[in-house]
Amino acid sequence: MAVESGEWRVEGGLKILFILLIGGIGVQTIYAKKDTTAVIAKKETKKVAVKDTTIKAVEKEETVVKVDGVLEVGFDNQYRYIEYKQNKRTTYNRLGKAEVDISLRPVKKVRAEIGFEYNHKDSLFAIDKLYGQYNIANFSMARFGYMKKSFGLEEKAGLDERYFHKRSIINDSLEYFGFLGHDLTLQYRHELGKKLELRGGFSWTEDSLRYLQNYSVEYDDKKNNLLLAAIIRHYLPPGEDAIITYISSLSYKRTDKLFASEAELTYGTNPAIKVYENRQATIFGARLKENFFINTGLNTLQQVIPVAEAVIYSSDVKKDSTDFDTQFRTGLTLGFAKKSSFQWRNNYGIVYKIKEGKKELWRRRFDSEVVIVF
């Protein structure tokens, strides 16, 4: 009986020890589950916080309204030879121009651009651009509305980047021939990576007698900007066959902290000579431009920007002729306030016409203006 009692006590002790071990493991498991649940909950809280931040960022991105603009006020003094009047004239003119661009993005994939322009000479506001853009994917977008063509770095640049009040004689002539300007346009853009973009578009003019095809490819890595573009012009005279002419441009810009160098070549056919003289005439132009950015370190006059440009242009290149125009411009821009948002630009330029080897002064111009970029 004593032995049995001892055996029972041993068995009972073992049972109690086994129960305590099982209980301890169960308690540890419960606490482990609690700890794991706490970690998971913490992670989920972080996910929710990140998600909320992302939602806020997206909401902020989808309600962007951006306003940019340029105001110009000044004067010019110019000497001009007026060919059709066969006389020379020196004039003094006041300059006043304003451009305001409004960019709206109501939802993530949709953007609208509205631009207004005021010219002192016209004394009225005009629509400079008005179009809508839809992002088909992260790498492609379509635009439709009233806009300018994708052609050359000078045409692409805004007034805040040109530093000259007027464009070069090349682009002025191309607009006169109906290649450039703002027209009703359907345009498609396709990005190949972050640096390369392809563009293609169709434009219709107000008189419905012309439509244009516009193609370009642009490489831009912030320091180097290479742009190849072409515009094909279709003229549809009533009762006659379409007259097709074209213009192309290859331009390159190198931008650094201290300077910006720009070169542009233009080549194509003259539509006016094609229509009125029924012969092929070649347009050729070349432009070189240099900007230098001198930072003064002062709180008031923060930047001094010298600029120089040389242009050669002919609207009718002939094998047996040396007729062409040359343009030389130089200027000095003083930049005040942050990022030179307040500028004082002073420029001097001359245009010479070379006919049969003889040089003739065609235009001389000096302009001074205050420019505000916002």
The Cβ-side half-sphere exposure at 43, using a 13 Å CA radius, reads: 6
CATH code, 365: 2.40.160.10
pTM here is 0.78
d(CA 369, CA 95): 8
Residues 27 and 81 in one domain: no
d(CA 131, CA 184): 9
Residue 264 belongs to domain spanning: 68-373
Residues 51 and 127 in one domain: no
Task: Report the DSSP beta bridge partners of residue 233.
Answer: 212, 245
The tens-digit pLDDT sequence of the chain (374 residues) is 344 444 434 345 444 444 444 444 444 444 444 444 444 444 444 444 444 444 344 444 555 888 988 999 999 999 988 766 667 888 898 989 898 999 998 888 999 999 988 888 776 778 888 999 999 988 999 999 999 899 999 998 876 788 898 899 999 999 999 999 889 999 999 999 989 999 999 999 877 788 999 999 999 998 999 999 999 999 998 888 899 999 999 999 999 989 999 999 999 999 999 999 988 999 999 999 999 999 998 888 999 999 999 999 999 998 777 789 999 999 999 999 887 789 999 999 999 999 877 888 999 999 999 999 88
Identify which of 280, 218, 282 has the alpha carbon closest to the alpha carbon of residue 247: 282
Q: Which of 12, 34, 61 is the last residue of a domain?
A: 61
Cβ contacts of 39-47, under 8 Å, gap ≥ 24? none
Q: Which of 18, 40, 61 is the last residue of a domain?
A: 61
- Spatial neighbors of 98 by CB under 8 A, at least 6 apart, are 69, 70, 71, 72, 116, 117, 118
Residues 224 and 366 in one domain: yes
Residues 140 and 223 in one domain: yes
First to last CA, the chain: 106
d(CA 72, CA 365): 17
Residues 266 and 332 in one domain: yes
What is the DSSP secondary-structure string of 135-186? Answer: EEETTEEEEEEEEE----HHHHS-HHHH-SSS--HHHHHHHHTTSSSEEEEE
What is the DSSP secondary-structure string of 207-270? Answer: TSSEEEEEEEEEEE-SSEEEEEEEEEEEE--TTS--EEEEEEEEEEEEE-SSEEEEEEEEEEE-
Residues 32 and 180 in one domain: no
Structural domain count, the chain: 2
Residues 149 and 25 in one domain: no
Identify which of 242, 240, 260, 262 has the alpha carbon closest to the alpha carbon of residue 251: 262
Residues 213 and 345 in one domain: yes
Residues 191 and 156 in one domain: yes
Residues 137 and 238 in one domain: yes
Residue with tokens 């990576």: 193
Q: Distance between alpha carbon 65 and the CA centroid of its chain, in Å?
A: 17
Residues 38 and 99 in one domain: no
- 59: three-class secondary structure by DSSP: helix
Q: Any idea what DSSP says for residue 10?
A: H
Which amino acid belongs to residue 152? G
Q: Would you state the pLDDT for residue 80?
A: 85
Q: Would you state the pLDDT for residue 161?
A: 80
Q: Which of 23, 45, 61 is the last residue of a domain?
A: 61
Residues 132 and 29 in one domain: no
